[in-house]
Amino acid sequence: MDPLKVLIIGGGVAGPTLAYWLSRIGANITLIERSPNMRATGQQVDLRAHGVPMMQKMGIEAAVRAASVPEAGTQLVDVRGRVKAFFPAERSGTGMQSFTSEYEIMRGDLVRILYGLTETRRNVRHLFGATVDAFTQDDERDPDGKVHVRFADGRSEDYDLVVGADGAASKTRKMMLGPGAPDPRFRRGSYIGYFSVPAAPGDSDRGTFCHLPGRDVSRVVGTRKDRADLTRVYMIMRGKYPPLDAAYQSGALAELKKAWGDLYQDGGWECRRFTEALRHAPEADDLYCTPFEEVRLPQGGWSRGRVVLLGDSAYCQTAGGFGCTWSLVGAYVLAGEIATLRARAGVSRSEAVIQGAKNYEERFRPLATAGHGGAQIFDYLFLPRSPLGIGLLHACASAAAYFRLDRKASMETRVASLKLPDYPELEGE
């Protein structure tokens, strides 16, 4: 059998994971990434729920553990720095995670580990600084139909399968949906921004979050710590603040720094130090900012023919806590569904790809979108802005910490009961 020829667009978390699974069934894979080198940046991410057995299946648990961030837990403090609630990290090994999971890792380290799985595989090529300009595909009934891809450098090539793993702002999705299609990104009216500051002696090794009253928008500031010399600052805001919209639109680092700095400088707690650093410290040049958004494609909308979306491009929920987990799981399910059909007699190459993509969505969609749509509840519960609302949150959090509700009431219990399929075609070699 001729190998399946696959183009994967996007070398984040989902793309390299899919390259790994498809390489195991002998596919000929090209993985392209827009940036000129591996984009191993970003802050702390984690693996939880089905992401844990997934990582074990991929044989990277030891590597992930070795690179993991030893966060002691998560705490809420008030504007004077007094601890209001503390949720210890989960170290039970049961797979049940608290806010701090057992597998906290810097995004860059995870991306490097995932690339490492296919770097030396002869059937996987990694190309950097490459993008796709356009594609067309043959009729779905054509058993040997291809996707005809034109790259930005003018080259053209044909593939059996093209996968868009190019993130929430996916250009592949835009091209797949075609001109005039509505943008499936649903904005929740909040932003998250992160940057690094030089460490100070009192910085906690717990994830620490502080709600700031005193403005007509909700503001949260937090810190997390993965190394001694730096502290990572998180800012989450919700509400109308036009300067931030404008800065995000422009994408200019200086404008983003100014907008966040102006919004947070009078917030109390460590805000003055953080915003000073944001303005003047070179460490803060890593500022990364994104709106909270959900990609809500209609049923059956994750693929069109031989072009399929995976990861944030298909089902993003910004900072929902499952971005990396669902990237790993989604890649496994997509590869597994295609592999299953490929192994079946009488199924054409086209059918395996097209039907496999549909099966992947059908099986995985309930999991991937389990957390979608909870925007309003989330915002009211976790982003109060009045002193009274913040006080209430602290009281509830303190009670929740006492009863360990973080372990019991999380989405994990709900989604964990949804079973993942096993794909014997992908295992063993």
Nearer to ligand FAD, 213 or 323 (CB): 323
Enumerate binding residues for ligand NAG (CB under 6 A): 3, 5, 28, 30, 157
Beta-strand pair 147-151/132-137? antiparallel
> Rounded to an integer, what distance in angstroms lies between the CA atom of residue 155 and that of residue 161?
17
Is residue 323 a contact point for ligand FAD (CB under 6 A)? yes
Is residue 185 a contact point for ligand FAD (CB under 6 A)? no
Nearer to ligand FAD, 45 or 259 (CB): 45
Min dist CB 28 to ligand NAG, Å, is 4
* Distance of alpha carbon 14 from the chain centroid: 9
Min dist CB 166 to ligand FAD, Å, is 4
Query: Residue 194: beta bridge partners?
Result: 234, 288
Short-list 229, 260, 231, CA closest to 243: 260
HEC string for 236-285? EEECCCHHHHHHHHHCCHHHHHHHHHHHHCCCCCCHHHHHHHHHHCHHHH
Residue type for 240, please?
K
Contacted entry of ligand NAG, ligand FAD, none for residue 30, CB cut-off 5 to 8 Å set by kind:
ligand NAG
Contacted entry of ligand FAD, ligand NAG, none for residue 28, CB cut-off 5 to 8 Å set by kind:
ligand NAG
Nearer to ligand FAD, 76 or 368 (CB): 368
Residue nearest to ligand FAD (CB): 12
**In contact, 295 and 339? CB cutoff 8 Å:** no
User: Binding marks (x or -) toward ligand FAD, 132..171, rule CB under 6 A?
Assistant: ---------------------------------xxx---x
Q: Which stretch binds ligand FAD (CB under 6 A): 74-82, 142-150, 174-182, 316-324?
A: 316-324
Min dist CB 150 to ligand NAG, Å, is 14
Nearer to ligand NAG, 28 or 74 (CB): 28
411 Cβ contact partners less than 8 Å away, ≥ 6 residues apart: 49, 321, 322, 370, 371
Min dist CB 95 to ligand NAG, Å, is 38
Is residue 369 a contact point for ligand FAD (CB under 6 A)? no
> Rounded to an integer, what distance in angstroms lies between the CA atom of residue 93 and that of residue 233?
28
323-342 vs 349-368: helix crossing angle, rounded to 10: 150
**In contact, 142 and 305? CB cutoff 8 Å:** no
Nearer to ligand FAD, 106 or 339 (CB): 106
Residues comprising the chain, all counted: 429
Considering only residues 11 to 70 of the shown chain, the ones binding ligand FAD according to CB under 6 A are 11-15, 32-35, 39, 41-43, 45
Short-list 249, 274, 24, 225, CA closest to 124: 24
Cα→Cα distances 256→104, 224, 335, Å: 27, 21, 39
Min dist CB 339 to ligand NAG, Å, is 18
Is residue 105 a contact point for ligand FAD (CB under 6 A)? no
Is residue 108 a contact point for ligand FAD (CB under 6 A)? no
Task: Select the residue interacting with ligand FAD from 18, 324, 352, 368 (CB under 6 A).
Answer: 324
| Angle ∠(6,323,425) on CA atoms, nearest 5 | 40
Host H or E run for residue 159:
strand 156-159
Residues of this chain that interact with ligand FAD (CB under 6 A) are: 9-15, 32-35, 39, 41-43, 45, 107, 131, 165-167, 171, 194, 288, 311-312, 319, 323-324, 327
